[in-house]
Amino acid sequence: MKAFRRTALALLTACTLPMIAASATAQEKPVVQFIATGGTIAMKIDPVKNAPVPAISGDDLLATVPDVGKYARIQVNNLSNVPSDYMDPARWVQLTQAVQAALARPEVAGAIVSHGTDTLEETAFWLDLTVQSSKPVVLIGAQRNASVSDFDGPRNLLNAVRIAVDPKARDKGAMLAMNNQINAARYVTKTHTANVETFRSGEFGFLGEVYPDRVNFASAPARRQHLPIQAQTMPEVEIFPMYGGANGQAVRQAVDRGVKGIVIDALGMGNMNVAMLDAAKYALGKNVPVVVSTRVHNGRVMPSYGFEGGGKTSFEAGAVMADDLRAPKARILLMLALQSGVTGQKDLQAVFDR
Q: Pick out the residues of the known binding site.
A: 84, 117-118
d(CA 173, CA 225): 10
Q: Which of 59, 110, 101 is nearest to 81 (CA)?
A: 59
In the sheet that 290-294 helps form, which strands lie side by side, from edge to edge?
A: 237-241, 261-266, 290-294, 320-321
Whether residue 40 lies in the annotated active site: yes
Instruction: Give the C-alpha separation, 312 to 319, whole Å.
Output: 10
Q: Which of 160, 176, 157, 102 is nearest to 133 (CA)?
A: 102
Interatomic CA distance for residues 194 and 142, integer angstroms: 10
DSSP string, 190-241: E--SS-SS-EE-GGG--SEEE-SS-EEE--------------SSPPPEEEEE
Percentages (nearest 5) of helix, strand, coil residues in the chain = 40, 20, 40
Instruction: Tell me if residue 117 is catalytic.
Output: yes
State the virtual CA torsion across 337, 339, 342, 345 in degrees, nearest 10.
Answer: 70
Per annotation, catalytic residue among 117, 119, 123, 189: 117
Task: Give the torsion through C-alpha atoms of 323, 324, 328, 332, to 10 deg.
Answer: -50
- The binding site for substrate comprises 84, 117-118
Check 37, 40, 119, 294 and give the catalytic one.
40
CA gyration radius, the chain? 24
Q: Other CB atoms closer than 10 Å to residue 148's CB: what's the count?
A: 13
Q: Which helix (H) or strand (E) holds 306?
A: none
> Catalytic residue positions?
40, 117
